[in-house]
Amino acid sequence: MKSLTILALTAITLLGADGYKVYKDHCMKCHTEMMTKAEALKSFTSLKAPPMIEVSNKLKDNIRTMDEDEDVKRRVVIAFVKDYIDNPSVQYSMCESMAIERFGIMPSLKGKLNEAQKQAVAEWIYDRYKGKTF
């Protein structure tokens, strides 16, 4: 029994943090997971932030790499998200100015997430919405 527990703990450590759990614990209260553009426009006044599907798609559209290599692009988007968690700024936001006027800039979550949690949630944001349009 004891060795099973150790095995399970090792597996969790090796796999790193669970990105979806990090999202639910730290991002979901502001960023809805899934929404169509029509739904978002309808409930625009009650939203606190752009839905996460929009964040994901916006970053993938805006961040272009030289040869459009998927792995490179994925790494750059992940690096952007990890940095934005700690250092949100009007300078780096890719949100439309109308949305920023409405929502304001995201508050910094510096110190709330460790490196593994930031990595996991950023990967989740990239992979969760693959092939899904907003």
Please identify, using beta-carbon distances, which residue of 9 and 79 lies nearer to ligand HEC.
79
* Interaction of residue 78 with ligand HEC, rule CB under 6 A: no
* Interaction of residue 121 with ligand HEC, rule CB under 6 A: yes
* Interaction of residue 84 with ligand HEC, rule CB under 6 A: yes
**Nearest CA among 85, 65, 74 for reference residue 22:** 85
Contacts with ligand HEC by CB under 6 A: the residue count is 26
Q: What residues contact 118, with CB distance under 8 A and at least 6 apart?
A: 22, 81, 82, 85, 86
Please identify, using beta-carbon distances, which residue of 30 and 40 lies nearer to ligand HEC.
30
**Nearest CA among 61, 109, 52, 49 for reference residue 83:** 109
Which of 57, 58, 65, 75 lies at the binding interface for ligand HEC (CB under 6 A)? 58
* Interaction of residue 50 with ligand HEC, rule CB under 6 A: yes
Instruction: Please state, in angstroms and rounded to a whole number, the distance separating the CA atoms of residues 19 and 21.
Output: 5
